Each structure stands twice: as structure tokens, then as C-alpha cells.
A and B are shown apart, each in its own frame.
Chain A
């Protein structure tokens, strides 16, 4: 087979997350490309949770549309997710625990494994999860030691005994499965080794470190906190600081203070915290202080769906704060882009001296997947920093921090620089800083600030397009749904449609002229987003980019948008993954590389290639028997 989707499901508190992580990391180390996504409730104990890991021979961008091997620890695993089982799927369960039966009509292979007994044999019932992944590895015909190194890394702190017991538990499961069921889902051997496995949140954190950011102030909130965790662990080693603020108002004001002082500074949050930041976003805009804000969106409004994904903060990112300021909003589509865009965001914040908002979401932030090795840090662009040697301050005159310039951007002095003293104020102010209300100056200063982004252009990175050169059907998306849309496009193309996929990466300022040619000619525009009201549609419409009639796919039940959601418009279904698909390299515009100025792209990096996303490479014919 070209690829397999494994799911482990149980009650939260049962260690489902660590089991999924061990499985994903082990398979990644084995040489496969994985994509893992956890479904979890907003409580610590009890409630169904599951972890799906798609394992493929080539890079994949979603957790797939089906389940091939399921380890079920609770009834809900089968009751709620049984419909996703593929034909011939294997269900691992403990016959001594109460189980419901898989849905009728699907040909599944029941694999009863005495998980508890085998775990006890290895040293304790708690390791039944590990037995189950051992059994899954057995069904896949892998190596009995596949989990050894990951188990060692995971449990090393708990001592050699625990490591050895878990390794034994995995091998018990493996041996049992091979003996009783043989290999049911053999994966073809790996073809290329993936470089790294990380989540979107980790990619953001790594991007910040790579960009020279050394200051994070944040308040814990699902699903953004893992950005903070990573930086808490790493910033101190690099001379950086993380402050756990008393609330998000404090967090963003701290970041603005650090930015004013000259640090590259950021805050990370999710909807509720982002709402608290509105006033300060205007402050950053008015004082022309660089700051980077990561909004890992979750289901809103209010506390909403804390552990579910959504893309419903767009309106707030575009317009949140009173008054009018220049701001930049960017939405990464993939984990690699989360790294690249974050890295880029710190340059943009300093070049344009304004807030930069990164629109991530729970699906992108928490999904953990194999990616190629990310490009190493390179020197960035700090924009117009005042250089006293080449631009001496006029004698006796105070520093004109807000000098009116042609591009609206003024040289910025930093505290500590003699002669650069000025006051940054959130009130309307003169070129020197102090507040002023004179109508003429007010208008001049408004225009100066708003002019800064007049020529903003992210270049080839602003939009991404893949597909037919003259599409009839145009799928339009933004953010984390990229993988699902890429997959839908591939199925539509295979069904004979002329189809394209347009992804908006730079959301504000909107690259209107780059988008127009794509949107002007398509007959059937389908805007796909994870919200109820079509916020991206409204945004595009505002710029006159859409015809009167478009179709929309809106998903807001908390789960990520899938290819199936899109294909339902045509009564089509995602193909059973693993079959070679048609690639259309001629029609495919490769995505921008989001590299920093002067940086050459590493070879093979990073092609967001929908062909690969769906079909895997040539020659995966043996997977055919696994279609639904």
C-alpha cells in the first residue's frame, strides 16, 4: 500500500495523545511521511478523544478521509468513527472490554487482542496503548523494534525499567498480531526520508527563533499554548525571554514595549485573547511599533469550542481595533509555511513598522506532520533603523521619529541611541511625537501611516495557485484547508473537470491585482472556509473580486474542512488514497518559497504539490485493493 491511516481512540486521560505521538514519530523515523491530528474534548478526564495518523510514502497534508487500522479503547471510537473505516480495515480491540460492533455493511477485519493481559505481562495494564500500537505495526508488517527508539526518548526520564517495559509491551502486541492475523496492511517500503516532524505551532515558534525574535509575552490558551511551551524551553538558551502575562491585554502591551525597545517581539493567542488585544493593536499601528501577533483560531464566538478548529476570526483580524491603521494579515497554509511566514512576519513588522497578524488555526497549529528540513535562519531585514552616523540629528532639533516621507516609513530610533529621543504616542501626534490635534497635521499623519502599505506586495508568495490554466471550477481557500482543497482539486480533475485551486496567503493588504486574473475568468467559484458566514468571501467581495453568484462551502462544526465537504457539491467522494493520481505538472504553478531576500531556495524545498498530496508517487499500484 502507498499509505495507511491509523487511529487510536479512547477516553481522554487514557494516554491517547502520547500513544498517537509515539506512533507518528516512530513511523516518521522509519522513513514514512506522517500527518497526525488529534480530536479532543475540552476536559481533562473522560470524553472521547482520538488521534489519527496518516502514514504515506510521500508528503501528505491532511490526516485523510478514511481509517485503515483502528485501535478502539472505547465505544465511541467505533460508534462515531466507524463510518470512516475503509473496506478491509482492521479493528484492534480488547475482547475483555465491552465493545460495540463496527457499522454494518463495511467489510472490516476484527482483531481481538488481549491488550490488558499482554500489557500486564510486560509490566502493567497502563501500557495497553503501547501494546495496541505494537499490534498495529504487526498488521502493517513493520519491524518489531520500530518503536524502541521513540519509547526510549519518551520514557527516558522515568528510568530504564519503564523504557524496557514499554518496549516489551510494543513487541508483545506486535508478536500477537503477526501470529493471529498476519499482515493485513503492508506498506510499501519508504522511498524518501522526511526531514522533520513538527506541529504548526512548533513551526511558528521555530520560525520566530529563526527570525531573531527573542521576546514572547502570552497568556495560556488552547490551542496556542504549545507555541509558548516551545519558546519557554528554547528562548533562554538564545538570550530570549518568555513572560507569562496576567492577561492578553498585558501580553500584547508587553510585546509592544519590547518592540519599541528594539527587540523582535511577539504574542500568541486564540480568539478570546485576540479580542482582548484590540485596543493595543491600534496602539501599535498609531505608534508605528513593530509587533507580531499569532492568532491560532478556534471555534468561536465567546469561549466557543475551545478544542475545535475554525477560521472565524478573520473579520476581527482585518478590522479589529477602533480607528484606521495599516496592518498586515498573513495566513499560512501548511506547517512549512507556518515556519516561513512567521520568519517573514518579523521582517515585515520592522520594515512597515506596524502590527503583523498571523492567521493560524487549531488544525494547522496542532496537527503534527513530517516536512522536509526547514531552511536555516538567514539574516533578515530590519527596515529603516535610524543610523546616527549616516543620518545625524540636526543640532538642537529634536528627533523626527515620524518624519513624513514619500513611502510613509520613517527612520526609527531605539532607546539607548543618543539624539534619537522621542515620545511615541497613541494620540495623534506631530512628526516629533508629542500629541497634536491640528486638522492639517492629523490628515498628513493619517496619510503617512496609511501610505506605508500602499506598495506592499508579498510577491509570488501572496497567492498560491494550482491547477488548470483556464479552470471552469475554481476552489478558493485560505489557511489550513489547503490540503483538503488540494485533494478535492485532484479528484475533480480526475473526474474530468477543468479545475483550479486558489489560496489566499496575503490577506491584508489583499493582493487584488494578483487575485483578479484568477477570479475574473472562472465560471464556478467555490469559496471554502471554516466559518458560518463566509468571511473571506465578504473580504474578496469588498474589493469587487467576485461575481454576483459564487458557491460556498462552510464548515463550522468544529472539525477541519475536508475534501469530502467540497466534493459533496458534485456528489463526488475523495478517492481511496494510495492510488496513483494524475499529476498535471504543466498546469501547476509552484508556490512561492517565502524565502527571505537574497536567500536561495534549498533544492526540492518546499513544494506544496497537490499531486503529491493526494496521489503519492508513481507505482503504488498495490494499494488498489484497499479502495472503498
Chain B
């Protein structure tokens, strides 16, 4: 059906070396494997360098306002469950301004793949501390070092009831593409937190540093992503420095539990017209 080339749109304007290139490439590699026609793919993106991805992936796209990808994606998927819906944004977009939507999308288990390009910094606004920046992190907004503890996206996703939780690394594009494929096939809310270095504003989280510190749980002997307790333990013990599929549950997706055979996009005047006398009688 579609090939990676069919999914190419505008040439990305990211800085050379930006981790977000790998995310785009991984999606372009994974999506053709699903057999979904391009017109049935929708990518909803937030505001940030990461948010530009909806202009670079050729499909239907919605580039919304800062932090609101998940509500928009929820609306699209619920209105037309036949679509494959991806939400994508940065760590500021998803874990600061949009964090409440993240928690609620997870507990709703809405059938959306959520890709966060987590560079531990605000890229587009040129380098401010983000909610995933570690305590003590120095930037223009925290020159004396950040006082706050960082959010751990994996732990937050697990605690919020997300059905699928994974972490990828832009330096491992093969694994990232395979994680994306699993997430896209998953029926329910799938978080793919991607450690995606910002080469311009965050030298601390470099490719080298991440490569050295990440534990690959896809190849961890005996690791069972279906076991919630193990997932929580690994995330805690390794301070989130994992890559691979962390947790996969068999909870039913939101849309499955909600929508019947008809879709809200099928605009219909006939049924209420046919049932009008019955509706009128209700108001008597």
C-alpha cells in the first residue's frame, strides 16, 4: 500500500542532529507496516519544535494550540473510529501545559498513540527548563538550578492507567520504529516517550549520555511487559532510564467501549425525523 516515501511532506526545518528526525523516520517506517491507507491517518501535534511533525508527515494533520493535542485527538478518534490517530508533541506540551489531558487520556484509555519528543527542555522557545528537566538543571529560567523534581512520564502513565507504555530513544531508530509499530497497533492509549536530544539547547541529554545510561528492557531476560508490578519496579529502580516496551495491558480501549456501529461523523437527519413523534412525546 503506502511506502515511507508516500508519507513525506515538507522538508523538516529542525536543527541538524535534532532527535525529532528519528521520530519522523520511525513513524514513516512503522506506518506502512499497518496497511492503513494514508487518508485514514491523522497526526495531531502540539506547539514546539516537535509540533512541526504534522507538517512533515504526509497524511491528515492537525497542528493545534500548545498542550491540547490529546483532546483534539480524542475528538477525532471518537467521531470517526475508523481513523488511525496519532498525537505528538514535546515534553513541555505534554507534561507541563497539557499534563492534565495526559492523565485523563491515559485513564480514559482513548485509542490514540501519543508520541512525546522528550528533550528535557523547551526547544522552540530557545531553552527553558521543562517539567522533565532534572532537579538542579540550569537554564535561562533556572540559572541557579531547577528547584523542582522532574515528572517521570513512564511512572505517571503507569499510575494514570495507560494501556501501553513505552520509551524509545532517537539514537536507536530500529527499536523506536518497532515500538511505534506496537503502539500504533495497540487498541487503547499508547504512550511512546521518546528521549529525543535537543542538540541546540540541552547538552546534558546528549546521544552519548543517553546511550550509556539507558537499559534496553526489550532484551532484558525475563522482563514481562504484561506485569504491571514489574513495570513499576523497573521504572522506579532505573529512574525511568529504560528503552523498550515497558507495559502492555489488555484493558479495552475507550472507543470500543463507547461507540456502537454508527459513527458520529455520519451526519444523519433521518432517524430523528423518523422518531420525531416519539421525541415530541417525551416532552409532555
Are the chains A and B members of one assembly? yes
Measuring CB to CB, which residues of chain A are less than 8 angstroms from any residue of chain B? 25, 28-29, 195-198, 202, 206, 209-212, 214-215, 217, 236, 238-241, 243, 245-247, 249-251, 253-265, 279-280, 282-283, 287, 373-374, 376-380, 382, 398, 414-427, 433-435
Q: Which segment of B38-46, B88-96, B164-172, B237-245 sits at the interface?
A: B38-46
Cβ of B280 and Cβ of A196 under 8 Å apart?
yes
Q: B187 on the interface (CB 8 Å rule)? A: no
Residues of A within 8 A of B178 (CB): none
Residues of A within 8 A of B266 (CB): 214, 239
Q: In the assembly, what is the distance between CA of A280 and CA of B73, in Å? A: 14
Name A422's contact: one of B61, B78, B265, B280 (CB within 8 Å): B61
Measuring CB to CB, which residues of chain B are less than 8 angstroms from any residue of chain A? 9-10, 37-40, 42, 44, 47, 52, 54-55, 58-65, 68, 70-80, 82-83, 100-101, 103-104, 258-269, 271-273, 276, 279-280, 283-284
Q: In the assembly, what is the distance between CA of A280 and CA of B280, in Å? A: 35
Q: In the assembly, what is the distance between CA of A425 and CA of B55, in Å? A: 9
Q: In the assembly, what is the distance between CA of A287 and CA of B72, in Å? A: 13
> Known: A421-B38, A422-B60. Is A209-B272 also a contact (CB below 8 A)?
yes
Q: In the assembly, what is the distance between CA of A259 and CA of B77, in Å? A: 11
Residues of B within 8 A of A376 (CB): 272-273, 276
Cβ of A206 and Cβ of B279 under 8 Å apart?
yes
Name A197's contact: one of B39, B72, B263, B283 (CB within 8 Å): B283
A sample of 21 cross-chain residue pairs with beta-carbon separation below 8 angstroms, ordered by A number, consists of A206-B283, A239-B266, A246-B101, A250-B68, A254-B74, A257-B62, A257-B71, A257-B74, A257-B79, A261-B265, A262-B267, A263-B264, A377-B276, A398-B9, A416-B40, A416-B80, A416-B83, A424-B62, A425-B61, A426-B47, A434-B55
Cβ of A423 and Cβ of B264 under 8 Å apart?
no
Q: In the assembly, what is the distance between CA of A434 and CA of B77, in Å? A: 22
Cβ of A196 and Cβ of B64 under 8 Å apart?
no
Q: In the assembly, what is the distance between CA of A243 and CA of B264, in Å? A: 12
> Known: A215-B264, A420-B39, A421-B39. Is A258-B104 also a contact (CB below 8 A)?
no
Residues of A within 8 A of B55 (CB): 423, 425, 433-435
Q: In the assembly, what is the distance between CA of A217 and CA of B73, in Å? A: 13
> Known: A253-B72, A256-B72. Is A241-B279 also a contact (CB below 8 A)?
no
Q: In the assembly, what is the distance between CA of A373 and CA of B73, in Å? A: 39
Q: In the assembly, what is the distance between CA of A68 and CA of B284, in Å? A: 25
Q: In the assembly, what is the distance between CA of A172 and CA of B276, in Å? A: 38
Who on chain B is nearest to A214 by CB?
B264
Residues of B within 8 A of A206 (CB): 279, 283
Residues of A within 8 A of B280 (CB): 195-196, 373-374
Name A419's contact: one of B39, B75, B83 (CB within 8 Å): B39
How far, in Å, is B137 (CB) from chain A's closest CB? Answer: 28
Q: A261-B265, A265-B79 are in contact. List 18 more A-B contacts (CB 8 A).
A: A215-B264, A238-B271, A239-B264, A245-B104, A249-B71, A250-B100, A253-B71, A253-B75, A257-B77, A260-B75, A282-B65, A376-B273, A377-B269, A378-B273, A416-B80, A418-B37, A426-B47, A434-B10
How far, in Å, is A395 (CB) from chain B's closest CB? Answer: 15
Q: In the assembly, what is the distance between CA of A88 and CA of B273, in Å? A: 48
Q: In the assembly, what is the distance between CA of A253 and CA of B70, in Å? A: 9
Cβ of B74 and Cβ of A423 under 8 Å apart?
no
Q: In the assembly, what is the distance between CA of A238 and CA of B59, in Å? A: 30
Residues of B within 8 A of A253 (CB): 64-65, 68, 71-72, 75
Cβ of A255 and Cβ of B271 under 8 Å apart?
no
Cβ of B68 and Cβ of A261 under 8 Å apart?
no
Who on chain B is nearest to A212 by CB?
B267
> Known: A214-B264, A239-B268. Is A257-B59 also a contact (CB below 8 A)?
no
Cβ of B10 and Cβ of A243 under 8 Å apart?
no
> Known: A415-B40, A427-B63. Is A379-B269 also a contact (CB below 8 A)?
yes
> Known: A215-B75, A241-B258, A280-B65. Is A263-B265 also a contact (CB below 8 A)?
yes
